[in-house]
Amino acid sequence: CEAMVIARDLTLPAAPREIYDELKENAIEVEVLVNNAGITRDGTLHKMSFEQWDDVIAVNLTSTFMLMRAAARSMMRSRSGYGRIINISSINGIRGKFAQSNYAASKAGNIALSKALAKELGCPRTSTWCPPASNDRAFDENWAWHVARFRPIAQILADNGCRLGIEFIGPQTLRARTKYTFIYTLGGMMELAEAIGTGNIGLLLDAWHLYTSGDDLDVLDVIMAQADVVAGRQLEHEVQ
């Protein structure tokens, strides 16, 4: 396995195009883009400078737009005809956070940007994650709550020809500080998908969460036989 590192200042408008030009020079065809660049410059509204606002928006939102634009062009022209764009947002883009108006705005913008691009390019798949623990609901109550919550969403997606991938969160540290443990394994997530029962639910498989949940590669044999990875290529390509 080989890796190529290209360092660029993503706040510069030319940076995304330079990245893709360099990849093209090295005969590398990008099939997956993960927009994960993010910074914080916290401050309450009356103390936040324009520079604090602008820095966060530039890195967290504008660079995402620029990279998505470059990636979409490249993917649509690729020989394989394959492409996936994954944008990392934050719960604070939905609920906000004290002294993070710039960060919350950038992450809310990421969510809206992703939805808009999905309409432009066509999006047969979407994904979300499931918290591995709760301070409010015991396991059985939480299970019923998630089934009831996911089912109408999944049905709307199914009616529009879309599939939903759900990611489990593996690290024990995220469960240790909460009162009730919930689903944190591959098998548990597949059982939840089956319980939702709309037929278009699959697994968003993350190797890190597979490892930190305590599972190993043997468990993938089960998935190869009976499950579906919604976010990604065919499973045999996804796990190599």
Kind of pairing, strands 84-87 and 125-130? Answer: unpaired
**Residue (of 232, 230, 166) closest to 195 by Cα position:** 166
Number of residues assigned to the chain: 240
Phi, psi for residue 87 in degrees, rounded to 5 = -105, 125
Tokens of 108: 């809310």
In whole angstroms, what separates CA 203 from the centre of its chain? Answer: 12
Tokens of 45: 């509204």
The SS3 assignment for 181 reads: strand
- The active-site residue, picked from 103, 180, 184, 211, is 103
Is 184 labeled as catalytic in the residue annotation? Answer: no
In whole angstroms, what separates CA 71 from the centre of its chain? Answer: 16
Tokens 């190797």, residue located: 207
CA diameter of the chain: 57
Cβ neighbours around 203 below 10 Å, total = 23
List the catalytic residues.
103
